[in-house]
Amino acid sequence: MNITNVVDAQKQYFKTGATLPISFRLAALKKLRKEITAQENAICEALHLDFKKPYFEAVITETSIILKELDEFISNLKSWSKTEKVTSSLLNFPSSAYIYKEPYGNTLVISPWNYPFQLAIAPLIGAVAAGNTVILKPSELTLHTANILSSIIAKVFDKGHVTVVQGDKDVSQELLSKVWDYVFFTGSVRVGTIVAKACAEHLTPVTLELGGKNPCIVHESAKIATTARRLVWGKFINAGQTCIAPDYILVHTSIKKVLVTALKKEIEAFYGSDPEQSPDFARISHKGNFERLSKMLKDSKLICGGTTNEEDLYISPTLLDEPALNSNAMETEIFGPILPIISYTTEEDIHKYVSHYHKPLSFYVFAEQKAFADKLLKKYSFGGGVKNDSIVHFVNKNLPFGGVGQSGMGAYHGKRSFETFSHKKSVVKRGTWIDIPLKYAPYKNKLKWIKSVLKWT
């Protein structure tokens, strides 16, 4: 595939104005929804072939989220797209003022391998709904899902409207060397830095959905059984390969033993005594991540788990006991089924760990003591947080999803996806039936009058 030709074709398509009518956008979204519904089993099968993702998880974390997002856009796109009238300035009397919602133009979406269907289609929906053209670059590490994405897109959209470009990092770099009107990237902080630099070359606006060391604080007032169940689900779904998964637990010393016991009990309840045989536990998506995660086990004290099978890219649900800050597991985001358990005594102990890292994408507190939870949720900066659960904030369409600092920039989901891919154009329409000369030269004896007017604007 000649990337230059593909990009040029998209530019020409956008120039025709085909994507501008709301009726065109709605038709495309409805057609996409119909095709995804028809292909849902095939999508789930592709995800299973890529890393043995359970069908249940494929539905609740990939296809169902996308179908709900499409329903939200189809229901609300007309109202979201309307020109917004705002209060006019007295300085411009007589006039009216408006905000027009217009597409940026040609957009690039680069999606990751951990949720390879959902995190490819979700931003694409926002881009299409806002009237843009899209080139989607899915991860080459989940090839079966990339192939079905390519098939679905080809059936639904004109080539110049939305196109899938497959390939390795060299293809991504070539795409990033082109001039775009908007870029949307989901992935690691390291690659996000590369994307940001490429966008800076052309002053291209960009959304970066990245990650970080997401802390989970368990207070002595927490309900242990519920906490353990919700933590095991939030951490080990998708084999821990979730950017908003709890990265490490800070648990009060007084309840550490009972929490560990409860976590071990829930892991077995979820996946049996041998999780490798469980149909409900996914595998590591690719060899590179498997090798990186395996190194984290070598310098850590195991509480449970730690079993690996390189041939099957399997790593068991694993709990680590008090790893050092300079250990492999604590130096970087884990992004796998490994969960460090670290005890704390005071809030200063919590601060030592949380402040050691950059601002996280997510932050979790388990506590029945409201004042403690509220204090921490206000004290620290993070993308999104939850009290008494983990990762569930992601599914609320009314909450913006995105990071802060090194965990990302920009946000999306629901209406905010439409806003992300829309330029808000300010327009003033002035009347000509009167033209007050106060602002025009000569300015002699006008300053006191203009000051009086400014007080009221």
- Residues serving a catalytic function are 209, 243
Kindly report each contact of residues 44-47 with a partner whose C-beta sits within 8 Å and lies 24 or more positions away, as own/partner.
45/144, 46/117, 46/144, 46/145, 46/147, 46/148, 47/116, 47/117, 47/142, 47/144, 47/145
Distance separating alpha carbons of residues 43 and 167, to the nearest angstrom: 20
How far, CA to CA in Å, does 47 sit from each of 34, 43, 221, 291, 381? Answer: 20, 6, 39, 21, 34
Chain centre to alpha carbon of residue 141 = 19
Percent helix, strand and coil across the chain, each rounded to 5? 50, 20, 35
Provide the 8-state DSSP code for 61.
I
Measured between alpha carbons, how far is 77 from 74 in angstroms, rounded to an integer? 6
- The whole-angstrom separation of Cα 239 and Cα 52 is 10
CB 134, CB 107: distance < 8 Å: yes
Cα separation, 189 vs 174, in Å, equals 20
Query: How many CB atoms are closer than 10 A to CB 430?
Result: 12
Cβ–Cβ < 8 Å for 418, 73: yes
Query: Which residues sit opposite 402 in a β-bridge?
Result: none
E strand intervals along 227-312? 248-252, 302-304, 308-309
The answer to whether the CB of 292 falls within 8 A of the CB of 255 is no
The answer for residues whose C-beta is within 8 angstroms of residue 40's C-beta and 6 or more apart is 59, 63
Angle at 63 between CA 106 and CA 11, to 5 degrees: 10
User: Dihedral, CA atoms, 199, 200, 203, 204, nearest 10 degrees?
Assistant: 20
